[in-house]
Amino acid sequence: VMEACAKGFKRLLLELGGNDPAIVREDCDVDKAAEGLFKGAFFNNGQTCCAAKRIYVQEKIYDKFVQAFVARARRAVLGNGLSSGTELGPLASAVQLRHVMELVEDARRKGGRVLCGGGATAGPPGDEGSNTGLFYLPTIVVDVAEGTRLVDEEQFGPVVPVMSYKDDEEAVQRANATRYGLSASIWSEDLDKANEIANRLKAGTVWVNKHCEFIRNAPFGGINESGLGRAGDLGEQ
């Protein structure tokens, strides 16, 4: 598309995919971070370009965060996406379901542990449109790292890896180790430090203590292989 537009010097806006990191610092409110990242990672069943797809947690609070995050995922309500109360609907296609399953199996082969989910399900019966067979349980994987497909690729589904880090420098380096650059988030009670880290992340949008939340008309778009230009009224000016 970009090549075709370039031949005629046409203006172009590209909004592409991402492999969006979240950094959870030791000074954050763990329960709020777990709830916020459940929504940020599993919104629309993870089928969102800017969903949280890699979570890095400071090692001192890693176990506490993982416990809270897994507990929240296990309470998720699956069903028809158009029904009130449903938190996760089906995947968009059989192709996407297979992709998610392949990523999880690859992680398992490389030593990853699935703490919840980890498999397809027909979905809850009785609600028209819900029993499609394209459901995948909300899945959290640990003991994985860069070099695993689940960490390196955009999963676009209800699966997220959670990894630990020692210090801010390591977290920033690992968060930026991607060919994408759509969005990211920082979770911290120290807003000055959070903003300092945010300015070092290579992403078009960086949230603090939230993820995948938008302000009407605010510019949105990515860098690197995540897109070109900015959408939104303010982004067009």
Q: Quote the number of domains for the chain.
A: 1
- As a whole number of Å, the CA-based R_g of the chain is 18
The active-site residue, picked from 3, 15, 35, 169, is: 15
Considering the domain boundaries, does residue 106 fall inside one?
yes
Considering the domain boundaries, does residue 7 fall inside one?
no
Considering the domain boundaries, does residue 210 fall inside one?
yes
Considering the domain boundaries, does residue 33 fall inside one?
yes
Considering the domain boundaries, does residue 20 fall inside one?
yes
Considering the domain boundaries, does residue 27 fall inside one?
yes
Token pair 């589904």 is found at 157
CA angle, residues 43, 45, 125, in degrees to nearest 5: 125
pLDDT in tens, 38-50: 999 999 999 999 9
Name the residue range of residue 77's domain: 16-224
Considering the domain boundaries, does residue 230 fall inside one?
no
Cβ-count burial 145-175 (b if 16+ within 10 Å, e if not): eeebbbbebbbbbbbbbbbbbeebeebbebb
Q: How many helices (H) and strands (E) does the chain have?
A: 7, 11
In this structure, what token pair is assigned to residue 162? 């959670």
Output 42 or 83, whichever has higher pLDDT: 42
In this structure, what token pair is assigned to residue 113? 């542990």
User: Residue 139: beta bridge partners?
Assistant: 159
The CATH number assigned to the domain holding 39 equals: 3.40.309.10
Q: What would the 3-class secondary structure string for 202-224 be? A: CCCEEEECCCCCCCCCCCECCCH
Assess whether 189 carries a catalytic annotation: no
pLDDT in tens, 96-154: 999 999 999 999 999 999 999 999 987 765 555 455 679 999 999 999 999 999 999 99
Pick the closest to residue 154 from 237, 85, 226 (CA basis): 226
pLDDT in tens, 12-66: 777 778 999 999 999 999 999 999 999 999 999 999 999 999 999 999 999 999 9
Say what the pLDDT of residue 236 is: 47
Say what the pLDDT of residue 226 is: 85
Q: CA 176 to CA 197: how far, in whole Å?
A: 11
Considering the domain boundaries, does residue 78 fall inside one?
yes
Residue 50: partners with Cβ closer than 8 Å, 6 or more residues away: 18, 20, 182, 183, 205, 211, 212
159-165 and 52-58 strand pairing? parallel
